[in-house]
């Protein structure tokens, strides 16, 4: 039976108590037992984000003439992020998250190719590891999408991409890192391919934009992937992931302000007057924008370096723990914060990963299931600080429990469906 709104209003305390009760079965991210979805920067980050959120709870970024402070906030956050990604002339906007940033990049590539090259049947090239949002963008904006395989190390097969390039190619995509196995694609080669074709090159750094710059400062071998690479025309980076801001805020950057204009929708044939929208939303909440601004100011570069140091240490513990257990392995040669655990086909007694997931969940540890191949995905972060030894112990116990067993449920839902 469908729920109906109550006729009379209710007391504030009663309403809030019901909301608290609804959370009883939610993943316990506050305890560090989730690997993704929510990222905990610590008490100081909580405080500054929550205080900023209260100030901007009701403000609307639809029209920054009415709320010029939100225009300033957006401009400053974009500028700070461009600096981190070595794009002194880069320009962009804030969006609601990585998916919207990716959609904006797809739309901008289509519009640029139509304007500059007269292309009316645009095509794009992505690897099978690229985020599903690129497929969504192709569907929404009418692009033909070509999907190429990855190599044995899970990075993009640039030769396979090159074979797909034609006169209608408007966008070629690389990831830094890609989500499923956490490896960084060869961005210089992908960008060169796009430049030769006269196409856009988008780097999806939604997962890495607020990790790789600080990992580089910590001495990790990051390689070239940002605006230092000629041919990279746009980058997406999520502040609400490892930037530790509340949901939902991401940055979409274009190498130049001239390239940014292809993202913006402008319409002046309306009785309501001139209308322009920089991204897919009209009304935009000022809350996540202000919270992101406050978190970035609170942490500064040094704060992010410290959080990244702890994040990478946590991920290293996870990888070492997996390596110590016969029957499972880490996919790819990732060395940052994304870890994919899979069955080891060369082991004497390989472990069913989805049975392992159930056993871990029964102990309070949540992983996303993904595939192919069947694997457990972890976005390790500062949230997991202080519990990684407990996690490894749970992993060992769970592996012992399920060794030699399999389960029928092979679903890999990453969705909001009813």
pLDDT of 411 over the 80 cut: no
Residues 6+ apart with CB under 8 A from 142: 110, 122
Average pLDDT over residues 311-330: 96
Give the single-character DSSP code of 397: H
Average pLDDT over residues 274-292: 91
111-169 pLDDT, tens digit each: 999 999 999 999 999 999 999 999 999 999 999 999 999 999 999 999 999 999 999 99
- Tokens 């996540």 found at: 288
Q: Which domains does the chain have, with CATH numbers?
A: 47-298 (3.40.640.10), 300-401 (3.90.1150.10)
What per-residue confidence (pLDDT) applies to 416? 46
Cα gap 209→303, rounded to integer Å: 15
Q: Which band of pLDDT confidence, cut at 50, 70 and 90, is reported for residue 107? A: very high
Q: Which of 106-110, 256-260, 400-404 has the lowest mean pLDDT?
A: 400-404
β-pair partners for 237: 251
Strands 275-277 and 368-370: unpaired
Residue of 268, 398, 300, 264 whose CA lies nearest to 341: 398
Average pLDDT, the chain: 94
Q: What is the pTM of this model?
A: 0.94
Question: What HEC string does 155-212 produce?
Answer: CECHHHHHHHCCCCEEEEEEECCCCCCCCCCCHHHHHHHHHHHCCEEEEECCCCCCCH
pLDDT of 49 over the 50 cut: yes
Q: Which band of pLDDT confidence, cut at 50, 70 and 90, is reported for residue 84? A: very high
Of residues 20 and 409, which shows the higher confidence score?
Answer: 20
What per-residue confidence (pLDDT) applies to 285? 92
């Amino acid at each position: 039976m469908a729920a109906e709104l109550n006729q009379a209003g209710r007391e504030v305390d009663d309403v809030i108590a019901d909301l608290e009760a609804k959370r009883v079965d939610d993943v316990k991210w506050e305890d560090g037992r989730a690997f993704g979805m929510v990222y905990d920067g610590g008490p100081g980050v909580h405080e500054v984000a929550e205080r900023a959120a209260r100030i901007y709870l009701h403000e609307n970024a639809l029209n920054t003439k009415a709320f010029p402070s939100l225009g300033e906030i957006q401009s400053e956050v974009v500028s700070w992020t461009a600096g981190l990604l070595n794009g002194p002339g880069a320009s962009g906007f804030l969006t609601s998250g990585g998916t919207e940033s990716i959609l904006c990049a797809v739309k901008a590539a289509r519009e640029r190719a139509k304007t500059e090259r007269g292309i009316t049947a645009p095509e794009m090239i992505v690897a099978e590891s690229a985020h599903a949002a690129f497929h969504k963008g192709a569907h929404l904006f009418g692009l033909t999408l070509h999907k190429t395989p990855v190599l044995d190390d899970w990075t993009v097969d640039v030769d396979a991409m090159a074979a797909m390039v034609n006169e209608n190619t408007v966008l070629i995509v690389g990831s830094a890192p890609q989500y499923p196995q956490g490896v960084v694609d060869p961005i210089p080669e992908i960008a060169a391919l796009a430049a030769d074709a006269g196409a856009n090159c988008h780097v999806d750094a939604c997962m890495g934009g607020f990790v790789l710059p600080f990992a580089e400062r910590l001495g990790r071998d990051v390689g070239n992937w940002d605006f230092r690479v000629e041919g990279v025309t746009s980058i997406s980076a999520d502040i609400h992931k490892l930037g530790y801001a509340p949901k939902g805020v991401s940055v979409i950057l274009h190498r130049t302000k001239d390239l940014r204009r292809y993202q913006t929708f402008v319409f002046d044939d309306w009785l309501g007057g001139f209308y322009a929208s920089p991204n897919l939303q009209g009304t935009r909440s000022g809350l996540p924008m202000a919270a992101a601004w406050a978190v970035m100011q609170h942490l500064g570069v040094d704060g992010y370096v410290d959080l990244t140091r702890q994040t990478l240490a946590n991920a290293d513990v996870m990888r070492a723990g997996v390596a110590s257990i016969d029957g499972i392995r880490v996919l790819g040669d990732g060395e940052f914060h994304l870890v994919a655990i899979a069955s080891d086909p060369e082991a004497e007694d390989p472990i069913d990963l989805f049975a392992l997931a159930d056993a871990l969940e029964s102990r309070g540890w949540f992983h996303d299931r993904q595939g192919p191949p069947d694997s457990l995905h972890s976005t390790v972060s500062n949230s997991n600080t202080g519990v990684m030894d407990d996690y490894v112990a749970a992993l060992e116990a769970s592996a012992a429990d399920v060794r030699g067993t399999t389960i029928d449920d092979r679903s890999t839902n990453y969705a909001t469906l009813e």
